[in-house]
Amino acid sequence: MMIRPAFMNCAALTTLKCGILSNFYGRTARLTGSMVTSDDCEENSNQDRFNAMEHRNWEQGFEAYDQGFGPLTRQPISTLLSHANFPPADGEGRTIRLLDVATGPGFVLSAAITSALSTDESQQSFQLTGLDITKNFLSLAEQRICSQLQQERQHSKKIVIDFVEGSAESLPFSEEIFDSIICNFGVLHFFNPESFLRESYRVLRPGGKVSFTAWAPPERTEGLRIVRESIAEAGNPNVLGLPEGPNFFEFGDPEHAMTVLQSIGFENVDCKELSEMKWSNVKNGQMLYENFLKGTSRTREVLLGQLPEEATAVQSLMAKNYDLITNDGKMPLSMPAVVTSGQKPFS
């Protein structure tokens, strides 16, 4: 088994960054023939601020996300792998390639390694790539995967791991190279989720599959409902200067998610709600507040934007609402998610 983390040395990091930048410039150059309006400039400015916000908060909140949200966001991974057809049954004799977009702490990659090692073909080879916008998440994922591979040395399968710093909306990869693409709750944090899905279509092999998760609507995701309703009632949901972003729950709507994939060209599109998901590691309202304050992006910005008296009132109401919903912590928070998948046509 082999591991090729992208941040092993400065040379690797420099090469990686140059490759991504040239990809961005190439895409920009193809658009210079179109007319640029003031609305375009305003949209680009908002997109830049949105992306900067996401990058800043995940560089700071990577450990809090790992510890606070990790036990929850690991739960759909087996379904994601299955719906992305990983590992494929027809992969004998070639290297199987999986891309984990917005890899975060590396939960999907870790599960993919376990799945790869469980296949019957002893000489099968795999190349698994984790992509994220932040070095801190990539470093955390690298540590997790290195530790796992050290424990799996007795297996004969060849597993190559790559970590890539880059944008999900402009994937720095050639066309038609991946068998499976997975994105676990990443679409919530992309300025244009459809760009990610179009890019996934581009880099998937014919017959390859994409699968991704999003939260179900807030009336059913109790943790999200508590923070949203508490801010709306006791604080200020319209924080000045917050960049506009896509509807956080748009891909929790199966009809919308399936329509988008079909419009791009995906076939065999499917949505499945995982209604059994529970946030059991959150033990009280203050812990819930801290998880959102330290381990999120958009919600963190809203919480940080509260006046001192508003922040105190929001914390108090979150604690009250948590106790009401969970019967004083006796029941876990219900946090259903929606898994959407689609297949690139064979021809």
Task: Report, in this order, helix, strand and coil percent for the chain, each rounded to 5.
Answer: 50, 20, 35
Coil, helix or strand at residue 53: helix
Q: In angstroms, how far is CA 159 from the centroid of its own chain?
A: 22
Tokens 């709750």 label which residue? 185
Residue 99: beta bridge partners?
129, 181
β-strand pairing of 158-165 with 267-274:
unpaired
pLDDT of residue 156: 61
Q: Are strands 337-343 and 204-215 parallel, antiparallel or unpaired?
A: antiparallel
Q: What is the pLDDT of residue 27?
A: 28
Neighbours of 142 (CB within 10 A): 21
The distance of Cα 156 from the centroid of its chain, to the nearest Å, equals: 30
- The confidence score (pLDDT) of residue 32 equals 26
- Residue 218 structure tokens: 């807030």
**C-alpha closest to that of 102 among 66, 75, 140, 134:** 134
DSSP string, 85-103: T-S-TT-TTS-EEEEEET-
Helix (H, G, I), strand (E, B) or coil at 104: coil
Cβ pair 257, 271 in contact under 8 A: yes
Q: What is the pLDDT of residue 5?
A: 40
Please report, for residues 5, 214, 322, the alpha-carbon distance to residue 185 in angstroms, rounded to integers and kept in the order given.
Answer: 23, 5, 23
* Alpha carbons 243 and 162: distance in angstroms, whole number: 32
> What are the chain's domains?
10-26+41-218+246-280+335-343 (3.40.50.150)
Looking at residue 347, its pLDDT comes to 83
Q: What is the mean pLDDT of each run of 10 residues along the chain (347 residues)?
A: 35 25 25 39 81 97 97 99 93 89 98 90 85 97 92 76 98 98 98 98 98 97 98 96 94 98 99 98 98 98 98 98 97 99 96
First to last CA, the chain: 34
Q: Which helix (H) or strand (E) holds 256?
A: helix 254-264
**Of 345, 337, 22, 341, which Cα lies nearest the Cα of 185?**
337
Nearest residue to 325 (alpha-carbon basis) of 223, 248, 255? 223
- Cα 298 to its chain centre, rounded Å, is 14
**Neighbouring C-beta atoms of residue 118, cutoff 10 Å:** 10
Cα dihedral: 221, 227, 233, 237 (round 10)? -110
- C-alpha to C-alpha distance for 338 and 336, rounded to whole angstroms: 7
Quick check: bond before 217 cis, omega within 30? no
